[in-house]
Structure 1
Amino acid sequence: MDRVPREEFVPEDVRPDAYYDTPLPIGHNQTISAPSMVAIMCQALDIREGNKVLEIGTGLGYHAAVMAVLAGASGVVYTVERIPELADMARSVLSRLGFDNVKVFLRDGTEGLPDFAPYDRISVAAAAPDVPQPLVDQLKDPGRLVIPVGRYFQQLMLVEKKGGQIITTDKGGVAFVPLLGKYGFKGY
């Protein structure tokens, strides 16, 4: 994580707070996750050199950049954002910082990104009512998916696909913005 300058992924007015271990506002009622949460999610995913990773909830691209470092030059991170302004800003920052192995897409993240599936790892940076089936379907076997689940009381869930089986492990309580879309929350 020390190879990704977090201050580059937050608005100017919160840059002095970039290295506090707390979520920070990035506009459009969205946040950048606390560094410790990014680390917890990356550790649960166990991203390896050469992995193909899907991220849902790009924000300004910080978590995608961290995962890109873990996936290495032979890996790739596809990241999906639903808010056009955030997607554009993320593309700009990631490009400026040389994260050429991160590809940003504007679409409903609850549907995943089937064009490039299957994925070795999937990371979701917003809380869903349940694990969206399209994401499970797009996960490679073996593969790992990490997602916060719940409306008010959320649990970080690790979903592993192994030998055709789905194994779900509760990694503890979390607080994320809601995942909106066809397979997410509606009406927020």
Structure 2
Amino acid sequence: MNSQKDLVNYLINTNALHSPDIIKAFIAIDRYDFVKNQNSYATYEDFPLSIGNSQTISQPTTVAMMLEMLSPKQGNSILDIGSGSGWTTALLAHIVGQEGCVTGLERLDELVEFGSNNLNKYHFNNAKIIKATDRLGIQGKKFDRILVSASAEDFPTKLTDQLKPGGKLVIPVKNSIFEITKTKDDELKIIEHYGFVFVPLIYK
């Protein structure tokens, strides 16, 4: 595949992408702007690419599927944990629009800078990437959606506490992706999707 258009068409044809707002974000946000120069030849291929520090920009199919599970809406407040290259943060910022906001969290200083520089190419004023602390998420805040792009060893219940009622969390745990919805009564509805591989989520 030689262009973002080719990539988007591929994701639509394989049914990884189907929601109009998410498709529009994939068209508008070019993966090329988020890969390292040495990997630019493979920008539009459907596999993860190294961004240094043993981290990757995720496989496009996996990103598309996770965003479809997350079901972000215009005006949502979203926490993007493990923002890495900034690609998912930018996609989400495009979807939520000016009435929404996206906060990317990244533990590594080099990737906070790399992701922020990439995000700045799109001049969003509703999104930022900040350095994560040793505590998972952002304590004392609640979000409509939380996306995690690295794999936890165990289900981190502290993140569900940071969801608003009616909110949704999408997180890899070991080799599955868990799609968790918090009901209006603060109950959790959980769907497990099997068969994925991610870099590990590091937290205390």
Matched length: 178
C-alpha distance in 2 between matches for 1:99 and 1:47: 17
Aligned residue number for residue 120 of structure 2: 95
Q: Give the direction of change, closer, same or farther, for the CA distance of 1:47–1:111 in structure 2 (3 Å limit).
A: same
Shift of 1:181: 1.2
C-alpha distance in 1 between matches for 2:43 and 2:146: 25
1:19 and 2:44 aligned: yes
Shift of 1:109: 6.9
Normalised to the residue count of structure 1, the TM-score between the two structures is 0.91
1:122 and 2:146 aligned: yes
Aligned residue number for residue 79 of structure 1: 104
Runs of 4+ in 1 over 3 A off after TM superposition: none
Residue type of the alignment partner of 1:56: I
Summarize deviations over 1:127-170 as a string: whole Å, max 9, x none: 001221221110111110001101xxx10000110021011101
1:177 and 2:202 aligned: no
- When structure 1 is superposed on structure 2, of 41-50 and 64-73 the one drifting more is 64-73
Aligned residue number for residue 47 of structure 1: 72
- 1 or 2, which has the higher strand percentage? 1
What runs of 5+ residues in structure 2 fail to find an aligned partner?
1-25
Shift of 1:106: 0.3
Shift of 1:74: 1.1
Aligned residue number for residue 70 of structure 1: 95
Residue type of the alignment partner of 2:136: E
CA contact (8 A) 1:110 1:179 kept: no
Q: What SS does the corresponding residue of 1:158 show, helix, strand or coil? A: strand
Aligned residue number for residue 157 of structure 1: 178
Shift of 1:123: 0.3
Percent identical pairs in the alignment equals 37
Q: Give the direction of change, closer, same or farther, for the CA distance of 1:48–1:172 in structure 2 (3 Å limit).
A: same
Q: Give the direction of change, closer, same or farther, for the CA distance of 1:25–1:73 in structure 2 (3 Å limit).
A: same
Aligned residue number for residue 140 of structure 1: 164
Shift of 1:70: 1.3
Q: What SS does the corresponding residue of 1:148 show, helix, strand or coil? A: strand
